[in-house]
Structure 1
Amino acid sequence: MTSDVADEAPKSPLWLDDIRPGTSGEGFLEKNLRNSLLFVKRPSDRLLITFDNLANVGDERPEREPWAFKFASDEGLSHLGVMAHVSDWYRDEALIERFQSLARDGFFDGYKRVIFAGVSMGGYAALAFSSLVPGAHVLAFTPQSTLNPDLVPWETRYENGRRQDWTLPLSDAAELTATAGRVNIFYDPYHEPDQQHVDRLSGDNIRIFKCWFSKHKTAVFLRKIDALKPVMSHAIFDELEEGEFYRLYRKRRNLPWYRGSVSGYFRDTGREELATQFDKMFRRRMRRKKRKAEEAAEKTATLAATTAETDKAAAKAPAKPAAKPEASPAKPAKANAKTAAEPAKPKRREKPEHDCHIIAPLNAGGKAPAKQGKGSRLIVTTMKNEGPFMLEWVAYNRAIGFTDFLIYTNDCDDGTDQIGDRLQELGVVQHRVNPFKKGDDGPQRVALRASHREDVFKNADWLLCADCDEFLNIRVGKGRLDDLFAAVGDADAISLCWKLFGNSGNIAYEDALITEKFDYALGETEYPHFRSLGLKTLVRNNDKFNRLRIHRPAFHLDRGDIKWVDGGGQPMPDSYLDGGWRAPVGVSHDFARLHHYAVRSVESFLVKRDRGRTNHIDDDQGMDYWSSMNFNTTRDTSIHARLPGLRRELKKLLKDPELNRLHTEACTWHRAKIKELLARDGWSEFRDEIIKVNAAPVFENC
């Protein structure tokens, strides 16, 4: 009888031990009709404020606790939890006034960090109520920005929420995040309603973490792969970085839910064959994973059994006297000398073992929006004595949609570094001095390694390593990055083949637009040697991305297949996962091509030769380089369609008097350098020789 009574006794909530009389804990419970507030104070400099989700409404269990209560308890956080009793999206005047009074009374003061967190309905509340505590951080999983029908008429999922009073304060979270600290948003970009809400959010403090194929259950999805707690811990105690998040998120590959989501997406979009293929690959990988685990367990068991048998035999064996060690015969000194003189044979590089493949992106053939999309598109570059050409390059790339520039300069004489400093002061670029040191493997590689540590790099959505003589000519839509992205779909990388442009008959240096003045190049499908097949690669900075290289990125090959295409949207061969920087046979340039103005005018080439190559310091840029890079086969003026946008951006830059002065001085230095070089022994003769090599048609007709 006693045991029956004990079994039927109601359970006590975990938080009762924190605030009940007789304990050392501090806090309060405020019960209301539409919601309740529970506060537990712990010896912590962090305060976590959580809002229940729609799924918690109607939970009448005696042991009910606020969302994330156990997490806060385990982490030792002070915790204010709002428990929802109705699905009103916290459009409760009394609740809003209560939070306002808490703010006025200094309740949120004294903490090193205050964090608002919630999921869906709770995510909206976290965004909105955080505005009452300037500087507060936010963790919002699949949040709505508002349910005001006038603002989001397309949001029809939550009819009860739409009927609430949206004239009350804190009604539009999209207008309330400006005063917050870091706002972390987690959602599935393929879930259209959630994407539309995220599109309404803006500001430098917004950090987006894309949880592909988690649909509207992102928080549950993260919990299933053991990522939710570490994600929250990082965001609360330090900062959650993209690299760490996507490292955690790669565990999705082993989640059956993920398989169902991906294959379901394929089927919903009419790609049954891809869905079936993905299902088979997933199951094959899981069988292989299971088999490896079983083999490892079997080896461990065998080793344990062998060790036990050995120990048992050793215990039974009689003790033997220790044998005297026999002296080893000395090896002939001559043989030793011969062995030492033989060079070690280099180890053959073996092909890495992985089950990763290159696959086609989804949603190819789309149309870009009229307005440029959100996100950072970063170019990392190295420069030395590029002053006369620098502003055109920056202006052009701004015109086509690049938002950020990380420029490393080394040992400049013409003021390139000063132009970089001024552009940084104007907020246009990030400039870093990168002096060449003897023994380093080139300024470009040194700069690329350093770039990974920069915030502008970590926060970028797209990355490209490009030089000041390379211009991306996008041939689709309006010639913007958004048009290229829409054309190729959700690619992880886009490799763009060089098109080598010659001096186009220009001998003397002029302060004129490179993209306008130099219009003779190789034919569209003309590849006379390996250099004409060179690639540069735009790469998405997601969880699959590992590091940026000069021509092509490195990927984490254990995080799923790579959607890698060429400039025409064709998937690259699988072999590129393991290496290669030249374009494959049949490379397409339908959507984009990288124009490479490697030589410019004859006289400017003299300065380039004197400067030395960015990555191959000891290589002479003489006749061989000119012969292999100066081609004037056909005329190509396709990039001239971008000239109006380029001129607009360049005009904006040159409006700055200091920048204008520095540009003029760089051009003056360039002319003086040409004059100095032509006065050196042999340089005038060199100029006369290269004029004749692969000359443009204008010279052949003279």
Structure 2
Amino acid sequence: MRSLPRSTLVASMRNEGAFLLQWVAWYRMLGFENILIIHNDCTDHSPQLLRLLERAGVLVQKRNKPDPKEPPQPQNYLAATAHRLVREADWVLVTDADEYLVVHTGDGSVAALAEAIGDKAFGMAINWRIFGSSGEATWHDTIIHRRFLRAAPPSARQNSGFKTFFKRPTDFRKLRAHGPAGWVSSAPWGKGDRVFILADGAPYPAYVPQASPQNGSGEARWSNQLAQINHYAVQTIEQQDFKKGRLCAAVRSDRYTNNFYQRFDRNEEENTSALAYAEEFDAAHAALLAIPGVLRLHHLCCADYVAEMCEKRGDDPKADPRWQDHMEQAHALPRHQASAPEH
């Protein structure tokens, strides 16, 4: 699949090691030239895995030390805004570890999506497609986009959230989770190509970067025509229980409540859009697993994740067969080279 020159994918992460490889493989497959991950306060093996992937030339990672009195995610995005991979980029997308871009135009690459936007707009606000639990009870190490195939119907309000794929990040003041904020170019916003479109190709004039930040498209205007963000926000029942009570990294609010899961565990329709990339994804994923040391650290991250879930509910992780299996597989694999210092 084609690469898009000078394109950068950005993410803010903490303790996402168990999900990291498939997410990185997905976006490398789509053709992002650069992947920048800002991470903070990790207690799993993801920093070691990130540094190993960085040494292999797969991505760039940066450890951030956010002010504990403030939400960490916006601080991580400020660090990303100043990074050379963003400042030198022609195209940028910010996503979370549970969000997967699916392109419905051209060859399905991010290059094809950039071509579809062309000189008509400054970027595209790509709406979510919310995926539910599919009735799955417990977590195990598997490919997320193949396990969860039940989603909200297109008309569901929950799909209105978006992530913005946009040009020339230095024309904006900063990155945000859903789109850039603060128009700093001398050319007026709203004129010529200085407008965002939705995935139906139509202008979305309500999105004004210098105004109040937007996280979703209102007025029943959301579309997955040219692209969608598959948002696996809930996954298994076990993972839902684990996240309850955790403060949201974006605003420090108690987001993961029973009401949240009632609204977002949507399973009315089958959606197999991500499966169209099966052959390309398998190749990209296998390439990462072939890097010496990567599989061992992946298993350690999975064991860390099981341990976190067990400890929250008062169980002994060492009694969990999943923890035992991942630790056994990790210990059977050779150690990677000593990690480089974090930066």
Shift of 1:611: 5.2
| Alignment-derived partner of residue 524 in structure 1 | 154
The 8 Å contact of residues 89 and 169 in structure 2, kept in 1 or not, is answered as no
2:185 is aligned with 1:551:
no
Q: CA deviation at 1:453?
A: 1.9
Alpha-carbon distance in structure 2 between the residues aligned to 1:418 and 1:407: 13
| 2:161 corresponds to which of 516, 519, 534 | 534
Q: Which runs of 5+ in 2 are unaligned?
A: 316-343
Name stretches of at least 5 consecutive residues in structure 1 with no aligned partner: 1-370, 681-702
Do 1:547 and 1:553's aligned partners in 2 also have CA atoms closer than 8 Å?
yes
Q: Which amino acid aligns with 2:24?
A: V
Query: How far apart, in 2, do the equivalents of 1:606 and 1:541 lie?
Result: 40
Alpha-carbon separation, structure 2, partners of 1:607 and 1:383: 17
Q: Secondary structure at the match of 2:195?
A: strand
1:410 maps to 2:37: no
1:55-66 correspondence to structure 2 within 5 Å: none
Question: What is the alpha-carbon distance in structure 2 between the residues aligned to residue 610 and residue 394 of structure 1?
Answer: 28
Contact 1:606/1:677 (8 A) holds in 2:
no
RMSD between superposed Cα atoms in Å: 2.0
Q: Report the equivalent of 2:8.
A: 378
Q: 1: CA distance between counterparts of 2:94 and 2:249? A: 13
Which residue of 1 is the match for residue 216 of structure 2?
Answer: 582
Kept in 2: contact 1:501–1:598 (CA 8 A): yes
Query: Matches of 1:627 and 1:373 in 2, distance apart?
Result: 39
| In the alignment, structure 1 residue 653 sits paired with structure 2 residue 288 | yes
Residues 1:542 and 1:548: Cα distance change in structure 2 (over 3 Å): closer
Compute the displacement of 1:434 (Å).
2.0
**Secondary structure, counterpart of 2:139 in structure 1:** coil
Instruction: Give the equivalent residue in structure 2 for 1:662.
Output: 297
In the alignment, what sits opposite 2:205? 573
Where does residue 462 of structure 1 map in the other structure?
91
Task: State the Cα distance separating 1:542 from its structure 2 match.
Answer: 6.0
Give the SS at the match of 2:5.
coil
Q: Which has the higher contact order (CA 8 A, sep 6+)?
A: 2
**Could you list the per-position Cα deviations for residues 14-70 of structure 1 after superposition, in whole angstroms to 9, with x for gaps in the alignment?**
xxxxxxxxxxxxxxxxxxxxxxxxxxxxxxxxxxxxxxxxxxxxxxxxxxxxxxxxx
Specify whether residues 507 and 436 from structure 1 end up closer, same or farther in structure 2 by C-alpha distance, changes over 3 A only. Answer: farther
Query: Could you tell me how far apart the structure 2 residues matched to 1:606 and 1:437 are?
Result: 27
Rounded to whole Å, the distance in 2 between the matches of 1:575 and 1:664 is 42
CA 1:378–1:622 in 2, change beyond 3 Å: closer, same or farther? same
Letter in structure 2 aligned against 1:573: P
Q: Which runs of 4+ in 1 moved over 6 A?
A: none
Alignment of 1:581-660 (within 5 A): 581-585=215-219, 586-609=221-244, 612-619=247-254, 621-660=256-295
| Conservation of the 8 A alpha-carbon contact between 1:407 and 1:431 | yes
Whichever of the two has the greater Rg, that structure is 1
Deviations 1:563-588 (A, max 9, x none): 32111211112453433322133333
Aligned position for 1:672: 307
Tell me what 1:421 maps to: 51
- The 2-side partners of 1:373 and 1:646 are apart by 14
- What CA distance in whole angstroms lies between the structure 2 residues aligned with 1:584 and 1:508? 34
Which one of the candidate residues 7, 17, 27 is aligned to 1:397? 27
Q: Deviations 1:370-394 (Å, cap 9, x if unpaired)? A: x735522111111111111111000
Checking the alignment, whether the CA contact within 8 Å between 1:385 and 1:611 is kept in structure 2 is no
Query: Match for residue 139 of structure 2?
Result: 509
State the alpha-carbon separation in 2 of the partners of residues 608 and 462 from structure 1: 32
In 2, distance between residues paired with 1:543 and 1:424?
25
The amino acid of 1:584's aligned partner reads: G
Give the whole-Å Cα distance in 2 for the aligned partners of 1:454 and 1:557. 19
Q: Is the 8 A contact 1:493 1:538 kept in 2?
A: yes
Whole-Å separation in 1 of the counterparts to 2:170 and 2:80: 17
**1:608–1:574: structure 2 CA closer, same or farther, 3 Å change rule?**
closer
* Aligned residue in 2 for 1:205: none
Aligned-pair CA distance for 1:661:
0.5
CA distance in 1, matches of 2:56, 2:206: 43
3-state SS in 2 of match to 1:448: helix
Whether 1:484 and 2:113 are equivalent positions in the alignment is: yes
Any idea what SS the aligned residue of 1:375 has? strand
Change (3 A) 1:373 1:679: closer
Does the CA contact (< 8 Å) of 1:383 and 1:416 recur in 2? no
The letter of the residue matching 1:565 is I
Cα distance change of structure 1 residues 616 and 546 upon mapping to structure 2, 3 Å threshold: closer
TM-score after normalising by structure 2: 0.83
**Structure-2 separation of matches of 1:611 and 1:472:** 26
Q: Contact (CA 8 Å) 2:102, 2:227: kept in 1 or not? A: yes
User: What percentage of residue pairs aligned between the two structures are identical?
Assistant: 28
* Superposed counterparts of 1:297-376, under 5 Å: 372=2, 375-376=5-6
Q: Structure 1 CA distance, aligned partners of 2:234 and 2:254?
A: 15
Amino acid at match of 2:200: G
Query: Does structure 2 conserve the Cα–Cα contact (< 8 Å) formed by 1:570 and 1:588?
Result: no
Contact preservation (8 Å) 2:163, 2:178: yes
Cα distance per residue 1:58-94 (max 9 Å; x no partner): xxxxxxxxxxxxxxxxxxxxxxxxxxxxxxxxxxxxx
CA contact (8 A) 2:3 2:31 kept: no
Secondary structure of 1:437 counterpart: coil
In 2, Cα distance between the equivalents of 1:543 and 1:611?
Answer: 33
Match of 2:61 in 1: 431
Alpha-carbon offset, residue 674 of structure 1: 2.5
Please give the TM-score of this superposition, normalised by the length of structure 1. 0.42
Deviations 1:467-490 (A, max 9, x none): 000101111222111221222322
Q: Distance in 1 between matches of 2:259 and 2:265?
A: 10
Aligned to 1:685: none
Please list, as runs of the form range in 1=range in 2, the aligned pairs for 1:30-429 lying within 5 A after superposition. 372=2, 375-429=5-59
What is the CA deviation profile of residues 155-178 of structure 1, one whole-angstrom value per residue up to 9, with x for unaligned ones? xxxxxxxxxxxxxxxxxxxxxxxx
**Cα 1:609–1:583, aligned 2, differ >3 Å: closer, same or farther?**
same
The change in CA–CA distance for 1:439 and 1:542 in structure 2 (over 3 A counts) is closer
Displacement after TM superposition at 1:610 (Å): 6.2
What is the distance in 2 between the residues matched to 1:656 and 1:543?
34
Q: How many residues align?
A: 306
Q: For residues 374 and 509 of structure 1, what CA distance do their matches in structure 2 show?
A: 34
Amino acid at match of 2:235: R
What code does the residue aligned with 2:37 have? Answer: I
